[in-house]
């Protein structure tokens, strides 16, 4: 159980460092300049500190440093992947998979050679997963939806969209609230409330001339609800009561 707890804590550290505490400006600068980015070294520091502090173990210093160094290297070379004509649109997913695989490998190696001895009492796995799910429903989910749009080249055909307007601030906030509500309803087994929320969202209407915009919003809504429903099911049926 301690192994799973540490693994979840390291995933939380990754979400905080790579999403919650990284602005869009910093992310774009790193993606464009790689090792030349002035923000990359600070990102490395945040990745290290969050990893070490949330391990709740002094001995995890080397593990946190390994995760941060490899994170630094991956992000430093990511600009090359972004500029690749074939895989550039999938760079976000490749980048995140590599980070998560590295975190998992480091935690497993640390557990094998050092064992896990937390300095404080850690909540049980279900509560950790619930916290992680709510955290993921904020900024990480918004970015995930945006990257899915990019990967599948989904955009409004009759309206020019820039990167800044793909997910307006109002849309981001609505998405966060609806995901939190859906996740909460599923955790407390109020599935009918989820249906009511979906019906309420259907009130949103566009003119017939805005068909592509309607489809754009519909896809975003389905992805948003899908993420929350998946997380809710994972909590209820994956980690038990």
In a domain, 30, yes or no: yes
pLDDT tens readout for residues 92-105: 999 999 999 999 99
Q: How high is the pLDDT of residue 163?
A: 45
pTM of the model as a whole: 0.90
For the chain (length 241 residues), average pLDDT per consecutive 10? Answer: 96 97 92 94 97 97 98 96 92 97 98 95 95 97 94 71 54 90 94 85 58 76 94 86 56
Residues 114 and 144 in one domain: no
In a domain, 189, yes or no: yes
In a domain, 133, yes or no: no
Residues 109 and 212 in one domain: no
Q: How high is the pLDDT of residue 210?
A: 57
| Domain of 95, in residue numbers | 2-122
Distance in angstroms (rounded) separating the CA atoms of residues 54 and 47: 11
pLDDT tens readout for residues 16-44: 999 999 998 999 999 999 999 999 999 99
Total domains in the chain come to 2
């Amino acid at each position: 159980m301690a192994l799973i707890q540490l693994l979840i804590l390291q995933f939380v550290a990754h979400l905080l460092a790579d999403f919650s505490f990284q602005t869009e400006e910093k992310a774009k600068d790193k993606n464009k300049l790689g090792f030349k980015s002035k923000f990359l070294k600070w990102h490395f520091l945040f990745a290290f500190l969050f990893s070490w502090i949330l391990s709740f173990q002094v001995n995890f210093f080397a593990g946190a440093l390994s995760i941060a160094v490899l994170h630094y290297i991956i992000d430093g070379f990511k600009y090359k992947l972004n500029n690749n004509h074939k895989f550039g649109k999938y760079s976000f997913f490749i980048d995140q998979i590599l980070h998560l695989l590295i975190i998992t490998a480091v935690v497993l190696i640390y557990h094998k050679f050092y064992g896990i001895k937390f300095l404080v009492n850690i909540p049980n796995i279900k509560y950790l997963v619930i916290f992680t799910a709510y955290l993921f429903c904020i900024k990480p989910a918004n970015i995930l939806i945006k990257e899915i749009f990019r990967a599948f080249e989904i955009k409004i055909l009759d309206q020019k969209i820039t990167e800044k307007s793909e997910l307006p601030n109002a849309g981001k906030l609505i998405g966060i609230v609806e995901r939190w509500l859906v996740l909460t309803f599923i955790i407390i087994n109020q599935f009918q409330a989820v249906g009511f929320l979906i019906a309420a969202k259907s009130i949103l209407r566009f003119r017939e001339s805005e068909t592509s915009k309607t489809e754009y919003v519909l896809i975003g809504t389905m992805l948003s609800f899908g993420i929350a429903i998946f997380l809710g099911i994972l909590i209820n049926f994956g980690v038990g009561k």
